[in-house]
Amino acid sequence: MPQVQRSPEIFDVVVVGSGAGGGTTVRVLTEHGIKCALLEAGPMLNVAKEFKEHQMPYDVPHRGAEDGGAAYFGKGKPFGYFSTTSGGWELDGEPYTVGEGSEFRWFRSRILGGRTNHYGRMSYRFSPYDFQPYSKDGLGFDWPVTYDEMSPWYDKAERFVGVTGANHNDLPSAPNGQFLKPPPAKVHELLIQKACDKMGVYCIPNRRAIVTEPMKGRIPCHYCGQCGRGCQTASAYSSSQVDIFPAMKSGKLTVFDNAMVREVLTDGNGKATGVVYIDKNTRREKVIRARAVVLAASACESARILLNSKTAEFPNGVANGSGVVGRFLMDTVGFGLSGYVPALEGMKHYNTDGAGGAHLYMPWWLWDKHNKLDFPRGYHIEIGGGYGLPGIGSFQGAGRRAGYGQGIKDIARKEYGCSIAFAGRGEMIPNMHSYCEIDRGVVDRWGIPVLKFHFKWTDYEWKQARHMEKTFADIITTTGGRVTGLSAAQRESDGISTPGTIIHEVGTVRMGKDRRDSALNKYCQAHELKNLYVVDGGFFVSNPDKNPTLTINAFAWRAADHLAEEMRKGNV
Amino acid sequence: MSNTRRDALRQIAIALTAAGSAMELNAQQAEHVHSAAAADTKGGKYTPKVFNEHEWATVARLSELVVPADARSGSAVDAGAPQFIDVLCSQNPELTVIFTGGLSWFDAEMRRRAGKEFVAATPAEQTAMLDAIVAAERTVREQNAEEVLFARAPQYKGFSGYTVKPGTDLEPGVRFFDWARKLIVDAYFTSPIGMKDVNYIGNQMLSKYEVPQEAIDYAFNRSPFRIV
């Protein structure tokens, strides 16, 4: 008897991964009547247990410091106990290695819905110029699609996901879209907007995947401000609640949870036939057969699966005749600075939660001034501030400055809610030094060879980060505030985000016109296998200063429609 | 947020899920866990899991000194800081050592200064000792900052005026007090008392989100953008 258990059923499509890409895919395919299997490496999402949206710190004895005060020892959950990350940069038994001289931290979610359960819901469609960056400045590579081709898919994605925002006809960095009414700007945001006006920086309603009016069974946002903890009402988009749960109700979708995929199976004739996975519950290897395979396991995990799928037909790994799989890994350039704004002292408190994150943001404003800058491409700015929910660490500054006694209360009362923060999110140029490969010497607890990362920021990124720093300091001082963020000593090492920590890693299975230097065509379909698609951040050719999720939603939708049509025509 | 509102949101959450009754059961279980936790913190006399009677009294006195009561609100003891510390220590031997060792050092230092244990000292003797620790802490902090600076820019180390400050015998006290204050301050501001103190009014269920014009006017009139 064979050791490997085969699922007796043959599915139309097996989809690996349940985040924005996988969720969108199974929703669209099941709507076409196509029978899907969805594999998730983590457990099924239990919304009631996992989403701690309305808990207060005092509802748990550890107040959010976690058992034994793990958070104080740097061993707490990423983003805190109440967040719903269900994963992190380090997972027990699932290591990765990093090449000498490199630094990279790989975030993985292990739960149905993946990172969409907690992401920032920033939903920025690419600009027309983002699709042809090489044509514009000679760096990186062009996408095999144009904005005009993708714009209708962004429209569909925005209408489905539900994105707040506003149209601005004269703003190339923030093209018009299909927006829901944005919530009103908060007081500190209005001050920042005024400062931006003076500096020639655009500060406009934020574009976030949160419904502010009823939409397809989702009730409008109730403004509790806890989106990062998961949204019980699904007013904030998650693929789990908005794509996958409804698809499960259709009867066309079977979800296999705790299913860690190792490789794609092929038939030796240029076709994928299914996937091999380890059932984490039993630690047994299993196989799922399907007419088509869609990888949406996250950019690096999908690259890992392809590279680990070596056959006589595909000696470099499935779909990797070009050798680009794993190459051109990109993250977003991140830099943060905070400030203190005395104008906000003594203001009568109001509820600053709103729709969770910032209600305004600053899209890139120097798209036509590159001859005056010492770096290519651009960044957008995200805003923080307001009377946040007090948690572990919130008032430590007051404690240290006052030492002890009445002064702690005095400082806390006076300064609470008077801080603002800026996070720059910029475009990295893909480079030859940033990639992942299989580390042949190390396997994870499931016996699967792990990834080894190599990563390098270049001068392009460092100079962009310095521009962020100066801009943020200028905005802070223009509001009458003072910079409180980084000391000169800190800046020497912390002047740019650690690669991987912005969690926008993309580009490892890129698409392109030429099968010699890309793995996928413009429909996310592998050049070498017609029935294999990759619909996560892997297909990215560049990583514009637009957070990736909405673009994954749009491309995955297009890919799923393409696959459905190819299956109908009998091509797949 | 009231329980009825929470319940309403839970019902909605359940309705949105694919798998019906299993989720519902878990929602109810979660509610039970919550009520149990709430009862535990609100309940009568707390019995320490880790600290002996003397340590418990010292933790309480320290909590009171770090965040004392005033006309507006209660102290860190009222906010449950000693329980918080005891709970975390009961789950973490490393933290327990930090606290039992630190509390013992506090007694030894007070014996050296005033011939008695910390809790037995007068409030003036206690604050004098904390003042000394806080002053030493600032020295240590500056020293650490300089070390970081010199590690990155060693060429400055030889310059006069950039010398590293000398160490202090109070350093064990400084290290412990940093832990104690950290936990006491967090316990205070994450309690209902502390949140009310800073007037936190969020995490509510609102049908509409508005920003009061009064607040906008207030901030703008105090900013450089004031319309004169």
Which of B28, B198, B206 to substitute to test the interface with A, most A CBs within 10 Å?
Answer: B198
Residues of B in contact with A63 (CB under 8 A): 84, 186-187, 190-191
pTM for the model: 0.92
pLDDT at A170: 86
Are residues A72 and B209, on separate chains, in Cβ contact within 8 Å?
no
Q: How far is A57 from chain B (nearest CA, A)?
A: 6
Quickly state the pLDDT bin for B41 (edges 50, 70, 90): very low
pLDDT at A9: 85
User: Do strands A284-295 and A272-279 pair parallel, antiparallel, or not at all (unpaired)?
Assistant: antiparallel
pLDDT higher than threshold 60 for residue B157: no
Quickly state the pLDDT bin for B24 (edges 50, 70, 90): very low
pLDDT at B31: 43
pLDDT higher than threshold 80 for residue B15: no
**Strand ranges (E), A311-356:** 333-340
Are residues B224 and A404, on separate chains, in Cβ contact within 8 Å?
no
Q: Which of A433, A511, A420, A447 is nearest to A194 (CA)?
A: A420
Q: Which residue has the higher pLDDT, B36 or B106?
A: B106
Sequence-distant (6+) residues with CB within 8 A of A233 are A218, A219, A221, A222, B9, B12, B13, B16
Are residues B214 and A59, on separate chains, in Cβ contact within 8 Å?
no
Task: Measure the CA–CA gap between A192 and B64, rounded to whole angstroms.
Answer: 39
**CB–CB of A321/A313 below 8 Å?**
no
Quickly state the pLDDT bin for B121 (edges 50, 70, 90): very high
Query: Over A144-175, what HEC string results?
Result: CCCHHHHHHHHHHHHHHHCCECCCCCCCCCCC
In A32-112, which residue ranges form alpha helices assigned H by DSSP?
47-50
Only one residue has tokens 């349940």, namely A18
pLDDT at A391: 96
Residues of B in contact with A217 (CB under 8 A): 16
**CB–CB of B27/B10 below 8 Å?**
yes
pLDDT at A66: 96
Kindly give the confidence (pLDDT) of every residue in chain A, 572 residues in length, as a single tens digit, with 9 standing for 90 and above: 445 666 678 999 999 999 999 999 999 999 999 999 999 999 999 998 899 989 999 999 999 999 999 999 999 998 899 998 899 999 999 999 999 999 999 999 999 999 999 999 999 999 999 999 999 999 999 999 999 999 999 999 999 999 999 999 889 999 999 999 999 999 999 999 999 999 999 999 999 999 999 998 899 999 999 999 999 999 999 999 999 999 999 999 999 999 999 999 999 999 999 999 999 999 999 999 999 999 999 999 999 999 999 999 999 999 999 999 999 999 999 999 999 999 999 999 999 999 989 999 999 999 999 999 999 999 999 999 999 999 999 999 999 999 999 999 999 999 999 999 999 999 999 999 999 999 999 999 999 999 999 999 999 999 999 999 999 999 999 999 999 876 444 454 568 999 999 999 999 999 999 999 999 999 999 999 999 999 999 999 999 999 999 999 999 999 999 999 999 999 99
Quickly state the pLDDT bin for B44 (edges 50, 70, 90): low
Q: Which of B42, B86, B65, B67 is nearest to B189 (CA)?
A: B67
**Three-class DSSP category at A295:** strand
pLDDT at A138: 97
CA distances from A192 to A187, A303, A354 (A): 9, 41, 17
Does an H or E element contain B34, and which? helix B20-42
Q: What ipTM does the predicted assembly reach?
A: 0.93
Q: How far is A426 from chain B (nearest CA, A)?
A: 27
Task: Please count the residue pairs, one from chain A and one from chain B, whose beta carbons lie less than 8 angstroms apart.
Answer: 257
- In this complex, the residue of B27, B149, B202 whose CB is nearest that of residue A389 is B202
Residue A241 DSSP code: I
Specify the amino acid at residue A199.
M
Task: Measure the CA–CA gap between A565 and A118, rounded to whole angstroms.
Answer: 33
| Buried residues in B201-223 as b, exposed as e (16+ CB within 10 A) | ebbeeeeebebeeebbebbbebb
Mean pLDDT of B109-120: 98
Q: How far is A440 from chain B (nearest CA, A)?
A: 37
Residues of A in contact with B212 (CB under 8 A): 348, 350
pLDDT at B146: 65
Instruction: Indicate the length of chain B as a whole number.
Output: 228
Which of A44, A62, A72, A360 to substitute to test the interface with B, most B CBs within 10 Å?
Answer: A72
Angle at the Cα of A208 from the Cα atoms of B215 and A238, rounded to 5 degrees: 125
**CB–CB of B151/A493 below 8 Å?**
no
Mean pLDDT of B31-36: 40
Q: How far is B5 from chain A (nearest CA, A)?
A: 10
Are residues A478 and B210, on separate chains, in Cβ contact within 8 Å?
no
pLDDT higher than threshold 50 for residue B99: yes
Sequence-distant (6+) residues with CB within 8 A of B166 are none
Name the CA radius of gyration of chain B, rounded: 24
Are residues B200 and A244, on separate chains, in Cβ contact within 8 Å?
no
